[in-house]
Structure 1
Amino acid sequence: MTLNLPAGAITDAATISPLALFLQADIVVKGVMIGLLLASIWTWAIIIGFSFSLRKASQESRKFEADFWKAEDIDRFYESRGKAEFPAAKLMAAGVGEWRRSTAQRVIDRDGTRDRLSTAMSSAIAAEIDRLSDRLNILATVGSVAPFVGLFGTVWGIMRAFTSIAAEQNSSLAVVAPGIAEALFATAIGLFAAIPAVIAYNRFSHGINRLESSLTRFADGFYATLSRELEAQR
């Protein structure tokens, strides 16, 4: 069975396609749409890149910690594995570096050494967390700003639609629909950019917090090991 649709119905459907809505929009709404699309592309690039970097840092740090606790000689383990470029290795490098500087003196200040070790490892953790979470602020910004930018495009498009109604003195759906569709399309693009950004920001923040907790536990255990070694120093 075939349906005989009026030719105008096909034309109307074509005029509300995403591409047609973009082409029919005025320069302001087009600018809003392009800006939001670029923000969405940027957001997805950050999401993909950050997913790999966070997963790699977490996996390598866990493996490093497990191997460290199995090692019998800290110095030998450090020489073979401590120069790597992931968080747990940098944490160990900070601790070992401070340990060697503090114990190189003829008279060892035990309390001062403990304080410096704690500070050095805490600073290493903070530096690694800051480095990993550097681009999370972009996701937070896109997630909070994109809906309002899309809303601005919507308001501007609706104002343009009402201007068309006043100019043509015709409030039929055929006159109003294209302008309103353009306006709502701007909001849709804003949400398309914002929703993944917010979800990714929350997910990555949780992952960063878990990694920070893991590094803190490793630092506490390493600090205890060095503290016991310090007690054995004469």
Structure 2
Amino acid sequence: MSVLDLLAHGDGVSRAVAALLLAMSISSWVVILWKAWLLRGGTRDVLRSIAAFWQSSTLADAEQKLKAFDRATLVSPAVSAIRSVAGGAPDGTLGATVDRNQRLTRVLRDALHAALRRLQAGQILLATVGATAPFVGLLGTVWGIYGALSGIAGQTGGFTIDKVAGPVGEALVMTAFGLAVAIPAVLAYNVFGRVIGRIEAELEGFAHDLLGSFGEAPKPAAPPPARPMPV
């Protein structure tokens, strides 16, 4: 017994539940395939991009080299942020009143957040599908069993197990459909989460190194005023 057979004998609610599960399955698989392409070798690409940056002679040279390694555009925004700070803030703006280290910290933080938003895209959808698809399938099963029992109650003749087994078995297909939708989404969410965590650690370390290399050295504190010698 397949979902198509159930839909052929089901009512509007059963068809709506099946359509919702189908939409959840398609959307989750689109996200899974896209994120698999994005994160495939993601840690390796980030490491190669960081190594290429430190081997470059200038920031412009680094940006050119990153085009060959930074496929997901995770490291390049940080390099562009460094160049924007090197140019200085326009006079008469609030940015001009902030010292170089604070401006550098802000732009690196923004670049890191932009990369993390790109990495986290789709994770909420996978988590939602994995958490709700079994219950949507269970709803279809409960409604199917209710309809099957209502139909059996209206039939004439004696009550036999054959009259119950067929309709209930058809309704249970919805639960299996919900699990088939949820399991790939949950597995992909967990695998992608581990990869994203490793990439995030590398990017945070890179941003810290950039701040230490391109930031200004802290100014020495002014010596305390000398105390007058007692007379």
* Shorter-chain TM-score above 0.5: yes
> Conserved in 2, the CA contact under 8 Å of 1:143 and 1:197?
yes
Tell me the residue number matched to 2:118.
131
TM-score normalised over the length of structure 2: 0.80
Q: Which runs of 4+ in 1 moved over 6 A?
A: none
| Counterparts of residues 56-205 of structure 1 (less than 5 Å) | 57-71=42-56, 73-78=57-62, 80-81=64-65, 86-101=73-88, 112-168=99-155, 170-205=158-193
RMSD, aligned α-carbons: 2.7
Shift of residue 21, structure 1, vs aligned partner? 3.0
The structure richer in helix per residue is 1
Tell me the residue number matched to 1:50.
35
1:23 aligns with 2:23: no
> Conserved in 1, the CA contact under 8 Å of 2:66 and 2:76?
yes
Change beyond 3 A, Cα 1:79–1:49: closer
> Conserved in 2, the CA contact under 8 Å of 1:164 and 1:175?
no
1:209 aligns with 2:193: no
Instruction: Give structure 1 stretches of 5+ with no counterpart.
Output: 1-15
Identity percentage over the alignment? Answer: 33
Q: Deviations over 1:1-54 (max 9, x none)?
A: xxxxxxxxxxxxxxx345423322222112212221221122112101110012
Q: What amino acid does structure 1 have at the position aligned with 2:31? A: I
Tell me the residue number matched to 2:229.
none
> Conserved in 2, the CA contact under 8 Å of 1:161 and 1:176?
yes
Shift of residue 81, structure 1, vs aligned partner? 3.5
- State how many pairs are aligned: 211
Change beyond 3 A, Cα 1:103–1:27: closer
Q: What amino acid does structure 2 have at the position aligned with 1:21? A: L
Shift of residue 157, structure 1, vs aligned partner? 0.8
CA distance in 2 between counterparts of 1:104 and 1:146 reads 56
Change beyond 3 A, Cα 1:75–1:38: closer
CA distance in 1 between counterparts of 2:185 and 2:160 reads 38
CA distance in 2 between counterparts of 1:100 and 1:57 reads 31
- Give secondary structure in 1 for the equivalent of 2:121: coil
Tell me the residue number matched to 1:10.
none
> Conserved in 2, the CA contact under 8 Å of 1:60 and 1:86?
no
Change beyond 3 A, Cα 1:81–1:101: farther
Q: What amino acid does structure 1 have at the position aligned with 2:184? A: P
Q: Deviations over 1:137-174 (max 9, x none)?
A: 11111111111111111110111121122112543122
Change beyond 3 A, Cα 1:103–1:78: farther
> Conserved in 2, the CA contact under 8 Å of 1:154 and 1:186?
yes
CA distance in 2 between counterparts of 1:196 and 1:79 reads 37
- Give secondary structure in 2 for the equivalent of 1:101: coil
